[in-house]
Structure formats: C-alpha cells, structure tokens
C-alpha cells in the first residue's frame, strides 16, 4: 500500500533494486516516522523501482515498491541506496540516463553507501566533495578523479547533492535531511521517536 497522503505533500522517493537492505530501510524508518508523525510539515516518502512491485534485496528481504519510475509522483528529493547491485548499474547506460534525467527534474539527490558510485558514473559528482562506503572510496576516485573524496565523513552535504558513507550512515543522512527540510528540533524529535542514539557495544 502507498503511504496515506492528501496529494499535496512534497515528495521524497527512495529508489529500490537489489539494495543492501539497511541502505534503503534505514532512511525509510527515519523519513516515514517523520512524515507520519508530523503531517503538518507537508512531506511524504515512498519507494520506487524501475518496474514497481516486489523487489528482492541483497540479503533476502523482499520489499514492495509503491511506484514504478514511470508512475512515480514528481519528486523533490531522490535517495539512491547502494549495495552490490550498483556494480552493474555503473555500466548500465539506461540506468545512468535515468539518473541524469532525475538530476534535471529533482531538486536534491542523495545517496547511501555505494549509491554515490552511480552518481559518479553518471557524471553528477564532477568537481564535488563526496563519500561512499569505506571499501569503495578508491573506486569512487577512479570513476571520477575530480571528486574530492572525503573518507572520514559520515555524510557530505554539497547543497543539491548529499552523499553518505556505508549502510547505517544512511540513517544519519536521513536525519540531516529532516534538519534541512524541517529544522533541527524536528530532527531531534524524530531521532528520539525512533530511539536512535548510537553507542556501539564493541
């Protein structure tokens, strides 16, 4: 089922393919909690894939996309997650053309983990600061040597493009998006609501 909306909300889309699950589900948890709990902010989030319907993720979870790319509502934010599936996407000209088309239509592009490799392959990170999963930093630099690779940052906000580091960093990036779109106090409310307060046990 699609999220309940009034049809007037500004739209955030999370792109699905054979993603690393947390790359997509982490931001979904943050953003769906925000949109559901604070509808007065006027935002909605949904998931899309090229064909719509069920999508098999990297580790066996099946997720149902709310929309296909063809019937998705106009987006103001697009999040491209990562995972091993991005290794084929960086050579898939049809997918790269779709990403470039989104660049022309969508105000803010964000990525999680190796989603930034796709943006790099599409030429969208030229001359920009960016990050990705620690194990793919060298590949990011090879895809476009003009990228200012920021290896130590959890996420990099370069205005209309935001990239984040590996997997769980997408939660931090999504909270940062809430800060940008609705303010610091709202992001704090969301963080408390999902009880996200990292204190690694090891």
Query: Model pTM greater than 0.85?
Result: yes
**Bridge partners, 47 (sequence order):** 14
Q: Please report how many Cα atoms fall inside a 13 Å half-sphere around the Cα of residue 190, on the Cβ side.
A: 31
What pLDDT score was predicted for residue 135? 97
What pLDDT score was predicted for residue 6? 65
Separation between Cα atoms, residue 189 and residue 160, nearest integer Å: 24
Annotated catalytic residue 113: yes
What pLDDT score was predicted for residue 201? 79
Per-residue pLDDT tens digits of the chain, which is 202 residues long: 455 566 799 999 999 999 999 999 999 999 999 999 999 999 999 999 999 999 999 999 999 999 999 999 999 999 999 999 999 999 999 999 999 999 999 999 999 999 999 999 999 999 999 999 999 999 999 999 999 999 999 999 999 999 999 999 999 999 999 999 999 999 999 999 999 998 877 7
Domain-wise residue ranges, the chain: 10-192
What pLDDT score was predicted for residue 7? 73
Cβ-Cβ contacts under 8 Å for 139 (sequence gap 6 or more): 117, 132
Catalytic: which of 35, 47, 72, 113? 113
Separation between Cα atoms, residue 120 and residue 169, nearest integer Å: 19
Looking at the structure, give the CATH architecture of the domain made up of residues 10-192. Answer: 3-Layer(aba) Sandwich (3.40)
């Amino acid at each position: 089922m699609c999220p309940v909306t009034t049809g007037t909300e500004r739209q955030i889309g999370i792109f699905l393919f054979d993603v690393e699950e947390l790359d997509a589900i982490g931001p979904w948890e943050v953003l769906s909690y925000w949109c559901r709990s604070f509808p007065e902010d006027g935002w909605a989030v949904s998931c899309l894939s090229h064909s719509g319907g069920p999508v098999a993720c990297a580790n066996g979870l099946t997720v149902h996309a709310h929309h296909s790319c063809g019937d998705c509502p106009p987006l103001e934010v697009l999040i491209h997650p990562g995972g091993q599936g991005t290794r084929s996407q960086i050579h898939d000209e049809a997918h790269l053309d779709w990403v470039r088309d989104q660049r022309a239509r969508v105000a803010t592009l964000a990525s999680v983990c190796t989603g930034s490799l796709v943006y790099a392959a599409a030429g969208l990170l030229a001359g920009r600061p960016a990050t990705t999963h620690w194990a793919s930093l060298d590949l990011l630099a090879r895809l476009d040597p003009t990228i200012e690779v920021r290896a130590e940052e959890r996420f990099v906000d370069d205005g209309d493009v935001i990239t984040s580091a590996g997997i769980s960093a997408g939660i931090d990036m999504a909270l940062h998006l809430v800060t940008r779109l609705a303010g610091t106090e709202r992001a704090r409310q969301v963080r408390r609501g999902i009880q996200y307060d990292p204190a690694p046990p090891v």
